[in-house]
A = this chain, B = another copy of it.
Amino acid sequence: MADPDTEADLIQSIFAPLSLGAPGSYGLHDDVAFLAPAHHGLIVTQDQIIEGTHFLPSDHIDMIAKRLVRRNLSDMIAKSGIPTAAFLSLAWPEARDRAGIKTFARGLGEDLDQLCGSCPLMGGDTSVTNGPLVASLTMLGRPTTGHGQPVLRSGARIGDVVAVTGVIGDAWLGLQVRLGKLSPDNLDACVAFAMAPQPPDLRLASLVGRYASASIDVSDGLILDASHIAKASGVSINLQLDLMPLSDEARNFTSFGTGHLSDVERATMLAAGGDDYQPLMTVSLSDFDAFQDAAEIIGVRVTQIGHCARGETVSLTYKGVPVAMPATLGWQI
């Protein structure tokens, strides 16, 4: 901040408690953090959240912090990682109440503690800006795979099952409501998800590490993220849009919308929406039942939505009938 003493006070009163006494955080009293040697390597994710780009200025500030944590956590889980350390860069608008930093830190701390398995905040940088709020989180974690490295995009094999956790499309539907492009009728839960997205239980990370041959967090959209796996792995992926797991609200949307769009078109829009905070994974056919059962035990629903075949592209079907790929991912209603 403008006055270094103020920044030090701010860090000590607000952010230092989030270091959870972790060795190497030095209670945020020093200039750097230290990650002690470990027998495991480190998975690193880094995502930012920008006012006006990723959230609306009126969004609750604690929820903005949580979205930032969850964006990173969702990537971490998809790659099999258990978070071990986080670093925050915060550019705080001069025009915003300084007291909001405390609320931001509270949201950050709650999620790092409760969703990320008591992941300590090990350091970072706080400063002021005359522009919108920008925050970047760097998250480090340990992989849970047998080979000790993250699950990549590139491990899918021909014959693998393609599966996803949770539901798809709620975030996109909620965003359309918030942007005034869809009526809010019967979409309350989607709006709530868009504002407070829920990545799966952290315990899923170990199952991803054990079972997934390839994995990616669904952020760009199910179709595009499937194409990332297909391209990196050298397989083709057929997505069966009718198998896509939907919330009741999303199912209503695909079935009972106003007239000019078909069910298939609507399902395709959800598959292109993105920001679902769920891993899209490929799993060998022989492992899939065991994976699904293990996930069920921790309360995570895993749904098969396709399979890998020869080739390098993504194709779509709906109830067995081929579906044209959407022209662009920037769907508008």
- Residues of A whose CB lies within 8 Å of any CB of B are 2-5, 24, 26, 29-48, 50-54, 75-76, 78-79, 81, 85, 87-89, 91, 122-125, 127-132, 134, 136, 138, 140, 143, 148-150, 152-154, 216-217, 220-221, 224, 232, 329-330
Residue picked from A29, A122, A131, A148, most chain B C-beta under 10 Å: A131
CB-CB under 8 A from A81, the residues of chain B are 32
A129 touches B52 (CB 8 A): yes
Question: 10 A–B contact pairs at CB < 8 A?
Answer: A3-B329, A3-B330, A31-B78, A32-B150, A37-B37, A44-B122, A46-B89, A47-B125, A50-B131, A53-B127
A134 touches B91 (CB 8 A): yes
Docked CA distance A138–B143 (Å): 20
Distance between A238 CB and nearest chain B CB, rounded to angstroms? 21
Contacts A34-B42, A50-B131 known; list 18 others, CB within 8 Å. A3-B330, A4-B220, A4-B221, A4-B224, A5-B224, A29-B153, A31-B75, A31-B79, A32-B44, A32-B81, A46-B88, A48-B125, A50-B91, A53-B129, A89-B89, A131-B131, A131-B134, A134-B134
B128 touches A34 (CB 8 A): no
Distance between A134 CB and nearest chain B CB, rounded to angstroms? 4
B40 touches A32 (CB 8 A): no
Which of these, B36, B150, B216, contacts A41 with CB under 8 Å? Answer: B36
CB-CB under 8 A from A78, the residues of chain B are 31
Which of these, B45, B51, B136, contacts A32 with CB under 8 Å? Answer: B45
Docked CA distance A30–B229 (Å): 9
B29 touches A34 (CB 8 A): no
Docked CA distance A34–B31 (Å): 24
Docked CA distance A51–B132 (Å): 11
CB-CB under 8 A from A85, the residues of chain B are 44
CB-CB under 8 A from A138, the residues of chain B are 46, 87, 89, 138
Distance between A9 CB and nearest chain B CB, rounded to angstroms? 13
CB-CB under 8 A from A127, the residues of chain B are 48, 50, 53-54
Say whether, besides A131-B132, A132-B129, A123 and B30 are in contact (CB < 8 Å). no
Docked CA distance A140–B44 (Å): 11
A149 (CB) vs chain B CBs: closest residue: B34
B4 touches A329 (CB 8 A): yes
CB-CB under 8 A from A76, the residues of chain B are 32
A42 touches B35 (CB 8 A): yes
Distance between A206 CB and nearest chain B CB, rounded to angstroms? 16
Docked CA distance A241–B88 (Å): 36
Which of these, B32, B41, B54, B220, contacts A35 with CB under 8 Å? Answer: B41
CB-CB under 8 A from A40, the residues of chain B are 37
Which of these, B46, B122, B153, B216, contacts A87 with CB under 8 Å? Answer: B46
Which of these, B32, B51, B75, contacts A131 with CB under 8 Å? Answer: B51
